[in-house]
Amino acid sequence: MSRRGSWHALLAVLVGLPLWVACGQDPAGSSASSPGKAGSGWDVYFSPKGGCTEAVVAALDKARTRVLVQAYSFTSAPIAKALVDAARRGVKVEVLLDKSQRTEKYSSADFIIHEGIPTKIDAAHAIAHNKVMVIDGATVLTGSFNFTKAAEEHNAENLLVIQDPALAEKYAANWNVHAGHSEAYTGK
């Protein structure tokens, strides 16, 4: 085993991770999961074509009370549809987007705003680069994965789906800070 491999093996033992996670490898190729401690756990997905969009849609399909979204780029039709479907089931859905979504040739922002989902633009920063969803105060979706078709099909991206109410609370608090300085998006 190489020196690097030995270090990763030691790390795996110390923190209780499977060796392949500590080494940054996935024997299945696209996703991995861990049950974590009671009430928490995680799944990880990689693109291209690693199931990130499907994981987002599946998480949204399980939403029952509230979904908070922060997105830099948002052009995925399946994700936009899942948000609208959640809202139609009575889930409170709220979205914050980067100011670039005002001028994008195609943005799902227009679709969701016309479906009655409150959407705001966070223009207080050079780039509002978050890619986060908080679902039912217990699940956090985050990573480099933009909510776009290109991120699923062409880019090297990652998505973490984390079941952890304490972490979700922190992300929701951050979402509220950004919502406080964002302005309503009225669509094109």
Active site residue 125: no
Q: Which CATH class is domain 35-184?
A: alpha beta
Active site residue 114: no
Active site residue 122: no
| Catalytic, out of 98, 131, 164, 178 | 131
| Catalytic, out of 129, 154, 181, 188 | 129
One pLDDT digit (tens) per residue for the chain, 188 residues: 444 444 444 434 444 444 334 334 443 444 555 544 445 699 999 999 889 999 999 999 999 999 999 998 888 899 999 999 999 999 999 999 988 877 766 677 888 888 999 999 998 888 889 999 999 999 999 999 988 888 889 999 999 999 999 999 999 999 999 999 999 988 77
DSSP class per residue in 78-128: HHHHHHHHHHHTT-EEEEEEEGGGGT-SS-HHHHHHHTT--EEEE-SSS--
